[in-house]
Amino acid sequence: MLAATGHAVPKRVFTNHDFASIGIETSDEWIRERTGIGQRYIAGEGENLTTLCTEAAKVAMQRAGVTASELDAIVLGTASPDRLLPSTAVEVQAALGASRAVAFDLDAACSGWLYSAQVAEGLMATGTFETILVIGGEVLSRIINWKDRNTCVLFGDGAGATVMKRSTRGRGILSAYMRSDGTLADLLHRPKGAGNAPVTPEIILEGSHYIQMAGREVFKNAVRSMADAADRALDGAKLSATDIDLLIPHQANIRIIEATAKHANIPMEKVFVNVDRYGNTSAASIPIALSEAHEKGLIKDGTTVMFVAFGAGFTWGSMVVRF
Ligand SMILES: CC(C)(COP(=O)(O)OP(=O)(O)OC[C@H]1O[C@@H](n2cnc3c(N)ncnc32)[C@H](O)[C@@H]1OP(=O)(O)O)[C@@H](O)C(=O)NCCC(=O)NCCS
C-alpha cells in the first residue's frame, strides 16, 4: 500500500527562454510544441540527489506518521547517483538516521520508481519487511550535455518519495507489470565514462560521458511500450478503462502522454500532467506527480490509479493501485 508521498525540487527554475543565455539555439515555441515542456528545476550549489531525496522522504514520512527507525528498507530508483560507489540510497539512509533499513539503488532509468515499488512489494511479500521507503530521484542536469539541444531541453531534476506498507485486503497494488529490452540499449544511453570506457580527457572533450539519445526512435518505442503497459495493467487488475479514476504516466513528453491515454481509452481529464513545469525528471517523474495529485486532493480512499512508465534500457511497466 502506498501510505503517503512527498516530493522536492531544486530552488532554481530554468525556463525555455533561459536557454538563450547559455547559447543554445532553440525557442520556447519549439520546445513546447514538440514536448509540452515550459520549464524545469535545476540543482545548484549545495543541492544533489541525496539532499533532494532526503527532503522528499521527510515529507512522505511525516505524512505517513512513520519515523526513520521504523523503516525496514530504502529503495531508490535513479540513473544519476551522486557517486558511482556507494549507492545514493545509503547516503539517504545516513541523512535520515534510518539505521535499521537496508538501502540500495535500482537503475531502471525513467521506470526506476515503478520498478522500485514493485520490488518493495516483493520484499514485503517475504514477510520480513513491513515499511519501505521507495524513492525516485534524479539530478540529470549533471549528466546531460548542456551544448546538445537534442537532449538538454528535455530533462529536469527532482525527487519523489513514497512510504509503502503491507497492503490490507482489496487495497494496494492490484496489478503489476515490468518489461525490459536490452537490445535497444544504444538508443538512449551514456556511451562512455564508466567501467566499459573509463573517463579520459578525450571522453570529456567529446562529451561521450553524457546522455545521448536517438529522439525519434525513443519516441516511437515509448508510445508502443506504454500502450502495451497500459493494456497489461488493466488485464492484470481485471478492470476496464472506466474503472480508472486517474492515470499517472511517466512525464517525458505531452505527445507520448496523449498517445498513451488515447490508446487506453482514458480521457485527458483523468490524466495527471505536470511535464510543463518539471520537464522529464526520469525516475522522479511519477512519484512527483503522485505527490502533487495527493496535494490537489485527487486521491481519496478507494481511488484507483494507473501508473505507466517507460525509460532507457529500454525498460517499461505499469501498475494499478487502489488507495
Ligand atoms: C526529441 C524530440 C522532442 C524531437 O522532436 P521531433 O519532432 O522528433 O524533432 P524532429 O525530428 O522533427 O526535428 C529535429 C530537428 O530539430 C532540431 N532540434 C533538435 N532539438 C532542438 C531544439 N531544442 N530546438 C530547436 N531545434 C531542435 C534538430 O537539430 C533537427 O534539425 P535537422 O532536421 O535540421 O537536423 C522527440 O523526438 C522526442 O520527444 N523524443 C522522445 C524523447 C524522450 O521523451 N526521451 C525520454 C524517454 S524516457
From CA 323, how far away is CA 304, in angstroms rounded? Answer: 6
Would you state the pLDDT for residue 171?
80
Question: Ligand 1 centre from 19 Cα, in Å?
Answer: 15
Task: Name the residue with the closest Cα to ligand 1, atom 31.
Answer: 150
What CA–CA distance (Å, rounded) separates 188 from 162?
Answer: 27
Q: What is the pLDDT of residue 196?
A: 94
Ligand 1 pocket check for 218: Cβ under 6 Å = yes
- Are 285 and 250 spatial neighbours (Cβ–Cβ below 8 Å)? yes
Q: What integer pLDDT is reported at residue 42 of this predicted model?
A: 98
Q: How many CB atoms lie within 10 A of CB 97?
A: 11
Distance 151 CA to ligand 1 centre (A): 8
- Integer Cα distance of 238 and 174 in angstroms: 9
Grid cell in block for residue 210: 553524457
3-state secondary structure of 145: coil
* Tens-digit pLDDT string for the chain (323 aa): 888 999 999 999 999 999 999 999 999 999 999 999 999 999 999 999 999 999 999 999 999 999 999 999 999 999 999 999 999 999 999 999 999 999 999 999 999 999 999 999 999 999 999 999 999 999 999 999 999 999 999 999 999 999 999 877 668 999 999 999 999 999 999 999 999 999 999 999 999 999 999 999 999 999 999 999 999 999 999 999 999 999 999 999 999 999 999 999 999 999 999 999 999 999 999 999 999 999 999 999 999 999 999 999 999 999 999 99
**Residue 34 C-alpha to ligand 1 middle, in angstroms?**
7
The overall pTM is greater than 0.95? yes
Which pLDDT score, from 0 to 100, does residue 167 have?
Answer: 74
Grid cell 505507466 — which residue? 308
- Omega within 30 of 0 (cis) for the link into 86: yes
Cβ proximity of 101 and 304 under 8 Å: no
- How many Å from the N-terminal Cα to the C-terminal Cα in the chain? 7
Ligand 1 pocket check for 222: Cβ under 6 Å: yes
pLDDT score for 1: 84
Catalytic annotation present for 7: no
Grid coordinates given for 83? 557517486
Domains in the chain with CATH codes:
2-170 (3.40.47.10), 173-322 (3.40.47.10)
DSSP codes joined into one string, 147-173: T-HHHHTTB-EEEEEEEEEPPPTT-EE
Instruction: Please give the grid coordinates belonging to residue 191.
Output: 556511451
Do the Cβ atoms of 38 and 254 come closer than 8 Å? no
CA distances for 222 relative to 50, 194, 251, 313, angstroms? 29, 26, 11, 11
Give pLDDT, residue 238: 97
- Whether 152 is catalytic: no
Phi, psi of 274, deg, nearest 5? -140, 15
Residues contacting 308, CB < 8 A, separation 6+: 226, 229, 230, 233, 247, 248, 249, 250, 260, 264, 316, 317, 318
CA of 187 to the centre of ligand 1 (A): 14
Ligand 1 contacts CB of residue 252 (under 6 A):
yes
